[in-house]
Structure formats: structure tokens, C-alpha cells
Structure 1
Amino acid sequence: MNLDTLLNDVEVILDANGNYDNLENSDIYVPSIKVDRKNVYFILKSNNKKKLVGFIDTDLINDFETIESKEVANKTLFIGKLNSKNLKAIEERFNWVEPTSRHGYKYTFGLGDRLGLASQAHLRLFKAHKDIFPVLGQQSIRELILTGRTFSDVVEDAAWAVFEEGYTTGWGADGDHVKNDFEIDYAIKSGETMITLDLTEDLHPEVVTLSDEELDEKFNALDEEFVNRFNKTYLNQEFKINDTLSVKFTKRDLEESVLMYYDAILRSVFVYNRYVVPFNLDFEISVDETSEPTSPENHYFFASELSLNNVVVETLAPRFYGEFQKAIDYIGDVNRFEKEYIEHQAIAEKFGYRISVHSGSDKLSVYEIIGRVSKKGWHVKTAGTNWLEALRVIAAKDPELMIDLYKFSYENLDDVANMYVFNAQENVKKGLVMKPEDVTLDNVHVLLQDDDTRQVLHTMYGSILNLKSSYKYVYRNQIFNILHENEDLYGQYLNTHIAEHLDLLEGKFKNKDEVIAHYEG
């Protein structure tokens, strides 16, 4: 980029008083323009690459790492990369670029951008949904490993997107599904403002298979002080949740709750005092990745014990009835889900936190319920289907590559057999899923509409991105190049996809069919 041309653009910006209609350089992304006491900053996109441009007092130039620069009197015009040093300098000038707490927000929405390219489009959508707080930097350790990213990458990519879009109203960063102290510490030191504590390894769902006698024996083997306290506090006691709901613990309810959840409660207490309070983190607890649904009695016991230990959580993710499988709609009896969701929501409201819905992508059948019932607010997490929207771009712009990606995914599904539970695994084995040889240039779009093929493609993102031949990536660079070249189309797909979620949660449509008809129409 010619620096003299950029200097003319800067002069236009300084004279414009916020109205950039006369700015002729289409490579300058207007929402990113920020003027601070005659210093100017913006994002420049040229040849599908983004750069930071600044026009600043010369004595400030060492704050930045520059590629090119030009001094003009006591000012310096520079071009720099979107890297860590330059981000730190931008954050020092504009503190809204840094992630912050979601505390005090009723409605929060997690957006796991696995490729680091989706946040810009998401933020454009959230400008129209001002009551919802976006959690952009949301990734799990598993996702980091599969995508070859770090927590720092995730937070920095999101922060640059925030600056690019001029999104000044706040955003969060979630160290998602962290389990051990190393992962928690790693998330904190990478700038995450929130952690989601995954208690899967501290839960004992196997106790539900025990007979009454076996359960009683195991419970009574605990120290007498525990047995006496739990019996005195909960056994045959009825706890009023609200005007219409209450919870009463039978012997089996109590013993199952204690033996299944108490290790997880102790772990939560430790993490809260060791990390959450000292580092002022938003705290979410996840008990959803387990085989047994969380009963109202389980939930009440868990919440009660946290309260007795003075643990304050923002959100909690129970294991709901039914199945929240990746990339497809809710599987189960929607009426039963509503009944039990009402109970979970009431318990959450009694103890002062919100329910969190994990694997929330595409669960269009239950969003209206969640939005209607959750008067005190909700948190919904989405992630993987942003990857599928990226594949929608691939299908539109390079359908032959899309067919190759599906063939590879279909034939190597065992790569993720131990990572995800999803119906497509068994359906592929049964021959019920569309075979690669049946995919053509004319029907390739069907791959992103059918539940089974969506799941095959969704779960294989890590294998696709990391596949190498002769020391070179087979697909990764092609995918990123297409997405960079078609950023606007990717943004269009992303916004339509997430808008369907938000509109149902906000009650703008009554059901799945209505919202799909609206956006497909």
C-alpha cells in the first residue's frame, strides 16, 4: 500500500468529524476507524490480508511493531501486523477492546470461533441484539488441540475482531470445559475472563445402577459426620422452590445425589477459592457431559451445597433430559424437556444464577422454551456449526473440494470415535448415511442439510485441518484461502445461522419452522 495515498486518507478522516462517506479507499474498513486526539487507527484489508494502520505522535511509535512507516512533521504513519504487541498498544488506548466480565447481564451467548474468522460477522449481528452479551473467545482444550490454536490465539483473534468492528459495549472470553489446575491456570494467564469448570471426571453417574441395598451400604460407609449431616439436612425434607414447585428427598434421591455429586462439589469449592475469587473470574460449572440426566433433586443438592460453601456461580449447565448432540436439533420429547427445564430454571433462580445450555448450536426446537421460561436470563453456548457455515462457503465456491472433504471425513470417522457421541457414527456403520460416491456437484449442498452428514463433517474438523502429505497440509490452506477471499459470504452465512438462534430465544418467532421459513425465504 502506498503510504502517501494512506496519508491522504488520514487527512480525510481527520477532517470528516466521524462522517466517512467521502472516504474513497475501499480497503479501509470504516467501522474500525478510531480517532484519539488527532491520532488515527484503523484496519486496512488489501489482497485478503488485514493490517493495522496508525497515524500517531512520533514519540509513541515504539509502542508498535511496524512493517512500514513514514514521518510527517511530529507524526508518524505506520502499517503493522495484527500481532500481540500491536494489540497490547491498541488495548492501552481503547480498553473496550479487552474482554470483560458478563456479570450483570441477563442474556449471554457463547460463540466458539474455531477458525478465528467468525467474530467480525457475529459482532455485526450483536449490534442489532444489544441486550445480549457475546462471549467470543470460547474454546475448550480439545478444540485448541484439534485446531492447532492456543487460548492466547483465541483471545487475541477475538480482540482484533472487536477493534475491527468498533464494538465498544463489552465482550467475554471463556476458557471452556477446563478440568485440571494446569488448564485453569493456562486460561487465566491467556486473558480469559471466564472459566467453565468441567466436572465430568469428578462425577460418579455409575451409582444410579446400584440397588437400594448397594447404594445404602456405600452411603453409610462414609464418615459418620457426613452421613448424619446429609440425613439431617435433606432426608424426607421438602424444599420450596417457588409458589408452585418443591423438591423432596427420598432416601434414594439423597444417597444418589451425595455419591454422584459430592466430589464435584468439593472440586468446585476448591476452584472457586483458588482461582475464581483471586482472579475475579466469571464462573460457570458444567455437569452436562455425563451419562445421567440431572434430576431436580440432584440439582437442588448441588446448588444448596455450593451455597453453604459460599460459592457464587454465574451459570450452571445441568445434564438435561434428551440429547444435545453436535450440529443437529434437540433429540427427545420436547414437552418433557420443557417440564424439566422449568424445574431447573426455578432452582437456578432460587440460588441466584442462570442456566447454561451447552452444545446449543441448532437446537431450534427448544429455544423458544428456553427464552420463554428463563425470565431471569440464560446463557447458550454454540461452537462447531460455525465450522459448518465455513464449509457452506467451500461448497458454494469449490464444490469439488467439498466432496473431497466429505469423502475423507466419511472414511476416517474412527478418528473421533472416542471424542464425540453422535448418531452418525452408528448410522455410517449401518450404511444409512450418504456415501461419498453418491455426492455430486449438483447435490453437494445436501451435505449441510442432512443431520448425519452434518455430524460427519462437524466432528472431523480437526482431522481435516491437520491432515498432511509430504509435510504439507492437504486441506487447511485451501480452506483458509477460500474463506479469506469470500469473507462477506462467510459473514452472511454466519449471521443467518446465529440470527435463527437469537430470534427464537428472544421470542420473535414461535417455532423452528417459522424462523427457518423467514430466513430461507
Structure 2
Amino acid sequence: MSTSKYIDDAREIFAANGDYSNLSDKDVYVPSIQVDRTNVYFISHANNEKKLVVFENGNTIGDFDAEETEVAGAGKTLVVAPLTKANNDAIAKRFQWVKPISRHGYKYTFGLGDRLGNASNAHLRLFKGRGIFPILGQQSIRELLLTDRTELDVVTSAAWAIFEEGYTTGWGADGDHVKEPYEVEYAVESGCTMITLDATKKIHNEIADLSDEELDAKFNALDDDYVKYFNDTYLDKTFDLGDGAEVHFTKKDVEQSVLIFFDAVLYGEFIYHRFIEPNNLDFEISMDETIVPTTPANHYFFANELHEKGITPETLAPKFYGEFQKAIDYIGDLDRFEREYKIHQAISKHFGYRVSIHSGSDKLSVYPIVHKLDDGTGWHVKTAGTNWLEAMRVIAKHDPELMKEMYSYAYNHLQDVKPFYVFTADKDNSPKPETINDSNVMSLLSDDNPRQIIHTMYGNLLTYQESFRYVFRDRFFKVLTDHQDQYDDYLNRHISEHIDLLQGKAASRDEVRAKYEPK
């Protein structure tokens, strides 16, 4: 499209005085339109390619890194620009809501890790008016490595979605599951407003396997001042949390809590003072990627020790009873989960933060419980990888041959990702690739076992090469680009299942799934 046509578009937009229902150029993406005095900004979708169009005073237009420029007269210049980091910085100078902000003060927040960089627009349309603060830029270092992306790319693509959808009510960016100081620093430098510290390397799960005698000996081998402090503070004490919730510490509770978690408390303190406090960031501590569940006593100990050091995280993620495996529903006793979640929530309320739920994707059976127990304290739920599965649903629908190829590769190379994830799927409980045909290919995404295989293999599938060429990646993104509307529809339906249950708009998994069943 010529720059002259864009000048006509900008003038038409300015003259429309906010009513854009009859714009002559249908490639102008209406939600993106911003008018500031006599300056006009929007995203064009011409030729199936997104570009930023700026119609602005000539003395400021130099902020943008332009592909095309035309002087329009009356002191105005038109620029057509790519959706780069530099141009996002320029647009954010004009519209501050494009930048990620703190989630502090928001009771309900939801993480939407977009591994592919093309799901945020659909999510933002869904979240408008929901009263939930979205965390869009959310990727772990592991996920970045497996997809060949960078933290800066993740934050920038989310920021462009914010501008494109005209989402002015605030969003956050999460440096997710960072473990090392250099990873935290990388996330901070990339513009993340939230840090999720994965404390796994400082959580000593091996302590849980010690006999009572071994545990006691190891605890009493600590410095005398530590032994005295921990016993005086916790041993045989019961802490009243209100509303019938309490936490009691036996001798074993004290010794296990100290030996498993105190090192992580000290590490959290170090990260807080080194990065969180100086940069005014939101702080989440993740205890979930461990072997043993976080007992109420463990949780109270962790929170109280942070409190004693003057640290209140925004959220904390315990490892709940039961299994929160990737891409499938909760496995475990829901009654016990409810009893323990009530205490975890009471602990978080007592210390002034919120519970965070990992891995939140597809845990539909627990969300009615979370809604029922919510007393206004709020929650944070973290989802990510199942956006990828909704993309694979598009592939299964529109290119079943590609889907069969990708499943066959994933099935035969599953051992490559066993070190990264905890999951139950394997070759013995999943359909053999040769049994998959056009009529049953979609079932791969509804059966838990092949669903987990496809989910956990996302990085390998996207980066696998032969003869220096990607085997699946280019075809995958071509199908996804050609059917973005279908992908958006699947994404909205998928995340709606989660937040409808969390907000009490449906009472059960079956009810919410029936609600969003394609007509």
C-alpha cells in the first residue's frame, strides 16, 4: 500500500472523531487507532503483514525507525515502520500504557505465557472487562532455550499486542522461573516488571527421605543459636490464622522446614535486596517445582522467616498436594486439596500476599474450589504451554498430515525431554503413530497421554532440523498464520474455561466445556 493512501487513512481517522465503523481502508486495525491532538497512530494489516503507521509532526517523527516516509504538508510527516523494539519504545513514549507495570494492588492476576509470540491479541480481547490483570510476557529460561527466543523478544511482542488491541488498563511482564542471579538480571534488563524466583536449587528435598534420627542429628548439628531460635519460635507452637485455620509445628515439622527451606529463604532475601527492591519489582517465589508437597507448616515457616527479614512477596507458589502435571487436569484427592488450599490461602492472607497456582493450565477441577474459598484475598494463576496445544489444534484441523508427522517425531523422541518435565505419558500408554489418521488425529489433543507428549516436545518440534533446514517450524507457522482467526477462537475458548471457573461463571468442568463447545 502506498504511503499516500496511509495519509488519506490518517486524515479520515482524524475526521471521524472516534467513530471508525465506516473507514474505507479495511486493512486499518481499528482497535489500534490512537489519536493524540492532531497526530494519528495505528496498525495496518495490509498484505497479511503488520506495520505501524504514524502521522505526526515532523519535528518528532525522527523517534521512529522508518521503512517508508512521506512529508504530508502542514507540518505533518507519515511513517510506516516495522514492529521492532526501537519503534515500540517510541510508541511507548507517547502512550505510557504500552509499557508493563506492577501488578501490586490487583487481587486477581493471570499469567499467559505465549511461547509462539502470536497469542496475546486473542487473550487481551478476552480479558477486557474481566477484572483480571494479565501477565503477558511470561517465559522461563528453559522455554526461551527450547524455542530459540529471547526475553526481550517476549516482552516486545507482548507490548505490541497491547498497542494493537488498545489495551489501556495495565499489564505485566514476568521473568518466569529464573534461578540464577544472571537470569534475574537478564529479565530485569529486558523490561520485566515481575520476577518469579524458582528456589529449587536451594530447596533440599533430600531431607524428606531422612529417618527421624538422621533428621534430628542433622538439625542439632546446626549452630546452637539457630537451633535455639528455631525451637523457641516454632516447636510445639500453634499459630491461629483466623476463620478456624491454624498451623501447628511438631518437632519433625520444625526440623524439616528448617533443613529443607531455610536456605531458600536466605536466597530469596539475597535476590530481593539485589534486584527486587532496587528496581521496585513484583516478587513471586516458586516452591512448586520440587519433589515433596509444601505442607502448611512448611509454608508458614517460609512466609514467617521472610516476614522477619522485612520481605513480603506479591505471591508465593507452594507445591500443593496432588499432581499439577503439564497440560492435563489435576490428579489427586480434591477434598484434601480443598482442606490444604484453605490453609495455604489463610497463611498468605495473614502475611499480606496471595497464593500462586502453578502449573495452572487445564487444572479445571480445582478452580471451582479456588473460587469457593476466595474471600477477597485473590489469587495468581500461571498458564503457558497449552497455548501451544491450541496452536497444534489448528494444525490438526487444517493440515492433518503435518500433525501426524509432528506426533510421530514427538512419540519417537520423548526421551529427549524426560529430564525437563514430570509427566506420566510414555509410549506404552499412548497411541502408536501408525494408528493415527485423518479421522482420529484431533483425538491426540483430548487424550491426556498423547496431549502430554505433544506438549512437552514443543521445543524439539520447533527447532528440529535436517540438512540445515527446519523440518516442521516453517510449515507450522505458515498454517498458523493462514488460520490466525481459528487459532484466536481456540485460544479464547481454552482460557475462558479457566477464568469462567475461577470467577464462578460456571460450576464445573463439564458445564464450562459444554458452554464453549463449537456450535
TM-score range, shorter chain: over 0.9
Aligned mates of 1:443, 1:24 — CA distance in 2: 44
Aligned to 2:277: 277
Gaps spanning 5+ residues in structure 2: where?
none
Q: What secondary structure does 1:56 align onto?
A: strand
Aligned to 1:365: 365
Aligned mates of 1:306, 1:436 — CA distance in 2: 50
Aligned to 1:123: 124
Q: Which amino acid aligns with 1:94?
A: F
**Aligned pair 1:416/2:417, yes or no?**
yes
Q: How does 1:439-454 map to 2 (within 5 A)?
A: 439-454=436-451
Q: Which amino acid aligns with 1:62?
A: G
Shift of 1:312: 1.4
Shift of 1:208: 1.6
Shift of 1:134: 0.2
Aligned to 2:326: 326
Shift of 1:439: 0.5
Aligned mates of 1:222, 1:35 — CA distance in 2: 65
Aligned to 2:498: 501
Q: Which amino acid aligns with 1:60?
A: T
1:107-141 Cα offsets, whole Å, 9 max, x none, are 00000000000000000000131x10000000000
Shift of 1:47: 2.5
Shift of 1:450: 0.6
**Aligned pair 1:435/2:436, yes or no?**
no
Alignment RMSD: 0.9
Gaps spanning 5+ residues in structure 1: where?
none
TM-score scaled by structure 2?
0.98
1:327-370 Cα offsets, whole Å, 9 max, x none, are 00000111111111111111111111100001100000001111
Q: Which amino acid aligns with 2:180?
A: N
Q: What secondary structure does 2:71 align onto?
A: strand
- Greater Cα shift, 206-215 or 176-185: 206-215
Aligned to 1:464: 461
Aligned to 1:238: 238
1:48-72 Cα offsets, whole Å, 9 max, x none, are 2111011111112211111111111
- Greater Cα shift, 112-121 or 509-518: 509-518
**Aligned pair 1:482/2:479, yes or no?**
yes
Shift of 1:499: 0.4
Aligned to 1:186: 186
Aligned mates of 1:340, 1:58 — CA distance in 2: 61
**Aligned pair 1:397/2:398, yes or no?**
yes
Aligned mates of 2:313, 2:361 — CA distance in 1: 23
Aligned mates of 1:10, 1:275 — CA distance in 2: 43
Shift of 1:252: 0.8
- Greater Cα shift, 268-277 or 280-289: 268-277
Aligned mates of 2:253, 2:440 — CA distance in 1: 52
Shift of 1:243: 3.4
Q: Give the % identical residues.
A: 59
Q: How does 1:51-450 map to 2 (within 5 A)?
A: 51-73=51-73, 74-129=75-130, 131-375=131-375, 376-425=377-426, 428=427, 431-450=428-447
Q: What secondary structure does 1:294 align onto?
A: coil
Aligned mates of 1:38, 1:472 — CA distance in 2: 48
Q: Which amino acid aligns with 2:89?
A: K
1:144-174 Cα offsets, whole Å, 9 max, x none, are 0011111100000000000000000000000
Shift of 1:89: 0.5
Q: What secondary structure does 2:105 align onto?
A: coil
Aligned mates of 2:248, 2:396 — CA distance in 1: 54
Q: Contact 1:176–1:197 at 8 Å: present in 2 too?
A: yes
Q: Which amino acid aligns with 2:457?
A: M
Shift of 1:22: 1.5
Aligned mates of 1:72, 1:345 — CA distance in 2: 59
Q: What secondary structure does 1:306 align onto?
A: helix
Q: What secondary structure does 2:51 align onto?
A: strand
Aligned mates of 2:165, 2:372 — CA distance in 1: 31
Aligned mates of 1:3, 1:279 — CA distance in 2: 41
Q: What secondary structure does 1:305 align onto?
A: helix
TM-score scaled by structure 1?
0.98
Q: What secondary structure does 1:137 align onto?
A: strand
Aligned mates of 2:307, 2:129 — CA distance in 1: 37
Shift of 1:46: 2.1
Aligned mates of 1:493, 1:438 — CA distance in 2: 26
- Greater Cα shift, 69-78 or 28-37: 69-78
Aligned mates of 1:452, 1:464 — CA distance in 2: 17
Q: What secondary structure does 2:242 align onto?
A: coil
Aligned mates of 2:337, 2:244 — CA distance in 1: 18
Aligned mates of 1:302, 1:61 — CA distance in 2: 52
Q: What secondary structure does 1:35 align onto?
A: strand
Q: Contact 1:68–1:79 at 8 Å: present in 2 too?
A: yes
Q: Contact 2:312–2:351 at 8 Å: present in 1 too?
A: no
Q: Which amino acid aligns with 2:228?
A: N
Q: Contact 1:58–1:75 at 8 Å: present in 2 too?
A: yes
Q: Contact 2:178–2:196 at 8 Å: present in 1 too?
A: yes
Q: 1:511 aligns with which of 499, 503, 508?
A: 508
1:282-311 Cα offsets, whole Å, 9 max, x none, are 000000111100111111111111100101
